């Protein structure tokens, strides 16, 4: 890490007040260079967590703005370094001038995520908490907000450290055995006990891996595929659910060829609606490609809205069931405005939601059904749900390692062979929170997605 003092705008432009953050060894000294107060001789004597009124000026001594400066002293700051925050009037011009003045006095403009990266490197938070900061900023609904907050608060981190402790316990039991391996009659490590412990760890890792399906869906949006024959009104329905004209609607069969998707919220949960090409037999090569993509999307979706505009035949029902096996299936009978009461009353052997996409009738009812079929678990303040693909991958590898430990114990392998897999498992779990072994490449990949000033 370079030890330059960094600065950046911390707020979005356009507000009444804008904050410029400064962090690093010379943060207070450099801020003092551009700051003048009638009360205080120099900021360098100011206490940590104090607030100071004054003016900032440029190199030539021209006043830029009337401001408030907060002082944080290492290690009691967000980054763990000496830091200041300059609250100015929220004009893009003023904020630019303040940053320029700071750079003229020896600061460097911060890179994306550099404040949080420093907080991580200074031990203020672990890597999964740093990632939670980015998720928190990106959170747009109650669920994703709660998940990010839980991760930031360290619930996931402490779960991982419990797992690491248990792994270390197995390791130390095995090492004890190795130390005394000359005395073959001595068996310190009860293999049954070791196996039970390893299995407990594996279960917990498996649960975390499983939680990713929910976590990922809540973060990225629960995938809902809109499927059906051509011209039944799938694109009209998509537009209706998204509350915007996203897809082209026409009465020409086979209008939608490619996949069109976007997200929207129902009761604070993000859903990702995917409009697909209408399914029919066709000689048109491009349309056929679209239909194949539709089948793939059904596979990836958790919920399928099978849209119809006529009473389905037995063959239709068979196909519907065959293609959506293992999915939550909602049958949407569209164009109800064209149906006779008799057709509506015709009893179908499954639940059907009658709507009119064109005239926006019964859309609320459909939204409720979609929300209910998503079966979203309540996210408590201390729920641990994995939402990050990097964490998921590390857990998957850790699970393989612990499986090899279990296999090794069952096969009666020697302690040193088993220890090797235990060490791997520890390392893989350690990647999530970031240990000594985190490479610059991994760090670079994580922090480049942050905004500047965070």
Ligand X SMILES: Nc1nc2c(ncn2[C@@H]2O[C@H](COP(=O)(O)OP(=O)(O)OP(=O)(O)O)[C@@H](O)[C@H]2O)c(=O)[nH]1
Q: Please report, in range form, the residues annotated as the binding site.
A: 21, 85, 124, 231-236, 250-256, 275-278, 454
Q: Is the preceding omega at residue 75 within 30 degrees of 0, hence cis?
A: yes
The nearest distance, CB 230 to ligand X, in angstroms, is 4
* Geometric angle at alpha carbon 116, from 113 and 121, rounded to 5°: 120
* Annotated binding-site positions for (6S)-5-formyl-5,6,7,8-tetrahydrofolate: 21, 85, 124, 454
72 binds ligand FFO (CB under 6 A): yes
Binder among 75, 196, 372, 417 for ligand FFO (CB under 6 A)? 75
- Residue 232, token pair as written in the block: 């039944």
The nearest distance, CB 19 to ligand FFO, in angstroms, is 6
447 binds ligand FFO (CB under 6 A): no
| Residues in contact with 6: Cβ distance below 8 Å, sequence separation at least 6, in sequence order | 22, 23, 24, 107, 108, 109, 110, 111, 114, 115, 118
Binder among 85, 275, 287, 421 for ligand FFO (CB under 6 A)? 85
Beta strand ranges found along 210-302 (DSSP E): 222-228, 260-266, 269-275
The footprint of ligand X (CB under 6 A) covers: 230-236, 249-251, 253-256, 277-278, 334-335, 337-338, 356-359
**Binding-site partner at residue 338 among ligand X, ligand FFO, none, CB < 5 to 8 Å by type:** ligand X
**Binding-site partner at residue 358 among ligand FFO, ligand X, none, CB < 5 to 8 Å by type:** ligand X
* Annotated binding-site positions for GTP: 231-236, 250-256, 275-278
Binder among 5, 23, 31, 77 for ligand FFO (CB under 6 A)? 77
Q: Is the distance from CB of 273 to CB of 265 less than 8 angstroms?
A: no
> b/e string for 399-419 if b means 16 or more Cβ within 10 A?
bebbbbbbebbeeeeebeebb
**Binding-site partner at residue 197 among ligand FFO, ligand X, none, CB < 5 to 8 Å by type:** none
First to last CA, the chain: 17
| Residue in this structure with the two tokens 């039991």, named with its chain if needed | 173
Residue nearest to ligand X (CB): 278
How many Å apart are CA 453 and CA 320, to the nearest integer? Answer: 51
Radius of gyration, CA atoms only, the chain: 29
How many Å apart are CA 227 and CA 224, to the nearest integer? Answer: 9
The nearest distance, CB 239 to ligand X, in angstroms, is 8
Cross-strand bridge partners of residue 53: 68
Stretch that binds ligand FFO, among 69-77, 105-113, 185-193, 255-263 (CB under 6 A): 69-77
Please report, as ranges, the residues that interact with ligand FFO according to CB under 6 A: 72, 75-78, 85, 124
């Amino acid at each position: 890490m370079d030890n330059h003092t960094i600065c950046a705008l911390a707020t979005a432009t356009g507000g009444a007040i804008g904050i410029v953050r400064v962090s690093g060894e010379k943060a207070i000294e450099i801020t003092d260079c551009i700051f003048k107060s009638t009360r205080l001789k120099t900021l360098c004597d100011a206490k940590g967590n104090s607030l100071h009124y004054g003016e900032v000026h440029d190199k030539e001594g021209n006043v830029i703005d009337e401001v408030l400066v907060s002082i944080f002293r290492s290690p009691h700051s967000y980054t763990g370094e000496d830091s200041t925050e300059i609250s100015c009037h929220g004009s893009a011009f003023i904020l630019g001038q303040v940053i320029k003045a700071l750079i003229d006095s020896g600061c460097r403009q911060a890179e994306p995520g550099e404040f949080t990266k420093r907080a991580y490197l200074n031990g203020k938070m672990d890597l999964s908490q740093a990632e939670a900061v980015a998720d928190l900023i990106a959170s747009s609904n109650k669920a994703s907000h709660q998940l990010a907050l839980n991760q930031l608060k360290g619930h996931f981190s402490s779960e991982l450290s419990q797992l690491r402790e248990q792994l270390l316990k197995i390791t130390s039991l095995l090492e004890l055995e190795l130390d005394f391996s000359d005395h073959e009659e001595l068996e310190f490590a009860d293999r049954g006990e070791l196996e039970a412990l390893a299995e407990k760890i594996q279960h917990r890792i498996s649960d975390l891996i499983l939680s990713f399906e929910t976590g990922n869906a809540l973060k990225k949006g629960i995938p809902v595929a809109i499927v059906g024959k051509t011209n039944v009104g799938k694109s009209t329905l998509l537009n209706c659910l998204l509350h915007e004209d996203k897809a082209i609607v026409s009465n020409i069969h086979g209008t939608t060829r490619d996949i069109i998707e976007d997200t929207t919220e129902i009761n604070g949960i993000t859903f990702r609606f995917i409009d697909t090409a209408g399914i029919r037999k066709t000689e048109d090569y491009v349309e056929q490609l679209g239909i194949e993509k539709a089948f793939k999307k059904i596979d990836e979706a958790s919920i399928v809205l099978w849209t119809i505009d006529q009473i389905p035949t037995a063959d239709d029902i068979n196909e519907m069931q065959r293609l959506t096996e293992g999915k939550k299936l909602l049958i949407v009978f569209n164009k109800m405005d064209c149906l006779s009461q008799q057709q509506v009353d015709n009893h179908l052997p499954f639940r059907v939601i009658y709507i009119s996409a064109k005239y926006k009738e019964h859309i609320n009812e459909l939204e409720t059904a979609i929300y209910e079929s998503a079966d979203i678990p309540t996210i408590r303040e201390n729920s641990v749900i994995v939402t990050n693909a990097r964490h998921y991958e590390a857990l998957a590898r850790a699970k393989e390692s612990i499986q090899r430990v279990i296999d090794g114990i069952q096969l009666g392998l020697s302690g040193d062979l088993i220890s090797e897999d235990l060490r791997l498992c520890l390392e893989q779990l350690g990647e999530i929170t970031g240990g000594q072994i985190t490479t610059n490449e991994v760090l670079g990949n994580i922090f480049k997605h942050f905004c500047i000033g965070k």
